[in-house]
Amino acid sequence: MSKKIVVLAGDGVGPEVTGEAVRVLKAVSTSHKVGLEFEDALIGGAAYDAAGSPLPDATVAACKASVGILLGAVGGPKWADIPVQHRPEQGLLAIRKALGLFANLRPVTTVPELAAASPLKPEKLKGVDILVIRELTGGIYFGKRGRTAEAAFDTCEYTTAEIERVCRVAGKLAMARRRKVTSVDKANVLDTSRLWRDVATRVFREEFPQLTVEHLLVDAAAMHLLSRPADFDVMVTENMFGDILTDEASMLAGSMGLLPSASLGAGNGPGLYEPIHGSAPDIAGQGVANPCGTILSAAMLLRYSCGAEDAARRIEAAVAGALQAGARTRDIAAPGARDWLGTKAFTDVVLRHLGAH
Ligand code: IPM
Ligand code: MG
């Protein structure tokens, strides 16, 4: 039986990077007999332009009927001045919410060959292997908000149940890794964070007693990510802290363009897979975007939504192989280097490492 994948290319560099990731998925689908089938649907500014909404009903219906969704990026200066509810970003937030995708997995690893692309010293980067679990459907992103001419407000709310379920995801994943969890909050200031810390403490103590648990305030966590990145295993945190910390953590790997993500809900519904980078309007259409984050997101799609672990590992090994062999996109090339590859040419190298090209 074939498995339907919905591709939401979106805006900016989105179509370029999803196009390349789909080439990789097609190759692996054939070689590993995964039986994928692809359908395009609209999201973000592209959807607003074509259908008057950043998340048309037809897109939600297609996503709900799929096994997994591969998303590029949304947003851009073209839509900066349209009413808030029509902004491209609202389409992304709304699809996460509509599918109940509360756990956003953002792995951050380093490869020695890319050490020069990171601003950190190479000795700090050795052995970095972090899995950030970002809560994705609560907090200040979804709270009541308002604006008048002279004032504005956003509110952050969390329930015990929302914190419990994301901590359980973190606990389960940590048990299959190095058995360490760092929960990040701002419990010295925020009530939502005090609830977060209480619930996290209880869930890990009662349900995952084998784990080593650490609690960090978010400001300290931002610093520790740079001073001792290799100490972290699984990190779990609320929506906005996770957004900020993962952009920071991407510089351990060397570039925003390298990091994938998986957004998962409860039960067997479709997961959504997207690079953590944005639409990068400054380089859109030039064919120079780094496709690694999206290709590695496609690997996560195979792992978490298709049960195709072998195929997922194959893709991850091919990306690592391409990087180890010296293939570079512009964002991770040595300063002044001229031999970097465009989005498509880099993917050709990945495909060769897959043995499919
Ligand atoms: C991300 C992005 C999004 C977010 C934006 C585009 C709404 O920054 O996925 O990290 O803030 O969640
Ligand atoms: Mg972000």
243 and 318 fall within a common domain: no
Per the annotation, the verdict on 141 as an active-site residue is: yes
- Contact between 344 and 295 (Cβ < 8 Å): no
Q: How far is the CA of 356 from the centre of ligand 1 (A)?
A: 33
177 and 312 fall within a common domain: no
The per-residue DSSP string of 16-84 comes to HHHHHHHHHHHHHHHHTT--EEEEE---HHHHHHHHSSSS-HHHHHHHHTSSEEEEEE---GGGTTS-G
CA atoms within 13 A on the CB side of 220: 11
* CA dist list (Å): 193 to 79, 200, 310: 33, 10, 39
d(Cα 324, Cα 321) in Å, to the nearest integer? Answer: 5
The mean pLDDT value for 222-244 works out to 98
Is residue 263 domain-resident? Answer: no
Dig out the tokens for 216 from the structure. 């960090």
CATH number at residue 121: 3.40.718.10
232 and 278 fall within a common domain: no
> Strand 271-273 vs strand 68-73: parallel, antiparallel, or unpaired?
parallel
109 and 214 fall within a common domain: yes
Is residue 57 domain-resident? Answer: yes
16 and 69 fall within a common domain: yes
333 and 230 fall within a common domain: no
* Global pTM exceeds 0.75: yes
The pLDDT value recorded for residue 357 is: 47
> Strand 3-10 vs strand 180-185: parallel, antiparallel, or unpaired?
unpaired
241 has pLDDT over 70:
yes
Per the annotation, the verdict on 219 as an active-site residue is: yes
Catalytic, out of 49, 154, 231, 247: 247
109 and 250 fall within a common domain: yes
289 and 238 fall within a common domain: no
Phi-psi region of 263 (alpha: psi -120 to 50; beta: other; left: phi over 0): beta
Is residue 63 domain-resident? Answer: yes
The mean pLDDT value for 329-356 works out to 94
356 has pLDDT over 60:
no
The per-residue DSSP string of 218-260 comes to HHHHHHHHHHSGGG-SEEEE-HHHHHHHHHHHHHHHT-GGG--
Is residue 304 domain-resident? Answer: yes
Q: In which domain, by residue range, is 74 found?
A: 1-99+269-357
What tens digit of pLDDT does each residue of 176-217 get? 999 999 999 999 999 999 999 999 999 999 999 999 999 999
> Strand 271-273 vs strand 36-40: parallel, antiparallel, or unpaired?
unpaired
Catalytic, out of 40, 191, 219, 310: 219
The mean pLDDT value for 102-121 works out to 95
Per the annotation, the verdict on 49 as an active-site residue is: no
21 and 89 fall within a common domain: yes
* Residue of the CA atom closest to atom 7 of ligand 1: 89
Is residue 122 domain-resident? Answer: yes
Q: Total domain count for the chain?
A: 2
204 and 216 fall within a common domain: yes
94 and 136 fall within a common domain: no
Q: Which of 228, 258, 288 is the last residue of a domain?
A: 258
163 and 228 fall within a common domain: yes
Is residue 228 domain-resident? Answer: yes
d(Cα 168, Cα 352) in Å, to the nearest integer? Answer: 39
How many other CB atoms are there within 10 angstroms of residue 212's CB atom? Answer: 13
Ligand 1 atom nearest the C-alpha of 104 is 9
The mean pLDDT value for 224-243 works out to 98
Give the position of tokens 């993500």: 261
Q: Which of 258, 288, 322 is the last residue of a domain?
A: 258
Q: Which of 258, 293, 328 is the last residue of a domain?
A: 258
The pLDDT value recorded for residue 65 is: 98
- Residue 52 has φ and ψ, to the nearest 5°, of 80, 5
Is residue 345 domain-resident? Answer: yes
Lowest mean pLDDT among 107-116, 285-294, 348-357: 348-357
Answer yes or no: is the C-beta of 16 below 6 A from any ligand 1 atom. no
Position 285, amino acid: G
The pLDDT value recorded for residue 189 is: 98
What tens digit of pLDDT does each residue of 39-80 get? 999 999 999 999 999 999 999 999 999 999 999 999 999 999
